[in-house]
Structures are given as C-alpha cells and as structure tokens.
C-alpha cells in the first residue's frame, strides 16, 4: 500500500521538474529579445508607425 504512495510522489516530482524545465525554456526564449533596461521605445515606435503606415506627429522635438 505504501509503495503506491511512493510511486505517486515520485511521478509527481518528475512531472513537476519536467514542467518547470519546459516553462523555463519557453520563458527565456520568449523574453530574451527585450532585456530589462535595454528597450528602445523610440525605435519601437518608429517601426510600428512605419509598419502601420501612419505619419509620426508625436516625435519629441518635432513641431506640428
């Protein structure tokens, strides 16, 4: 009887470790592009405006 509890506990630990490894790999792959403190908002804004075909009237220092 106690053997079944040991088997369930070992299976739970194995599944937990496997899930943790999968989540860690996908999170690091997804967020490596934007490192903290390295995000260039002006470049992002320019890319989005160019991609959407909208004229930039919000650029700092530019008169309307």
Cβ(62)–Cβ(56) below 8 Å: yes
Residue 34 C-beta-side C-alpha neighbours within 13 Å: 8
Which two structure tokens, joined as six digits, stand for 15? 């599944």
How does residue 61 score in pLDDT terms, banded at 50, 70 and 90? low
How does residue 58 score in pLDDT terms, banded at 50, 70 and 90? low
Which one, of 50, 44, 46, lies nearest residue 59 by Cα? Answer: 46
pTM: 0.43
Q: Summarize the confidence of residues 50-60 as an average pLDDT.
A: 66
What distances in angstroms separate CA 2 from CA 5, 8, 35, one per listed residue? 5, 10, 48
Cβ(32)–Cβ(39) below 8 Å: no
Q: Which of 36 and 30 is assigned the larger pLDDT?
A: 36
Q: Summarize the confidence of residues 1-10 as an average pLDDT.
A: 91
Instruction: Return the domain boundaries, the chain.
Output: 2-52
């Amino acid at each position: 009887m106690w053997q079944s509890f040991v088997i369930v506990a070992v299976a739970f630990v194995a599944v937990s470790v496997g899930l943790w490894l999968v989540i860690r790999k996908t999170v690091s792959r997804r967020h490596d592009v934007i490192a903290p403190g390295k995000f260039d908002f002006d470049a992002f804004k320019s890319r989005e405006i160019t991609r959407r075909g909208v004229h930039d009237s919000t650029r700092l220092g530019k008169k309307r």
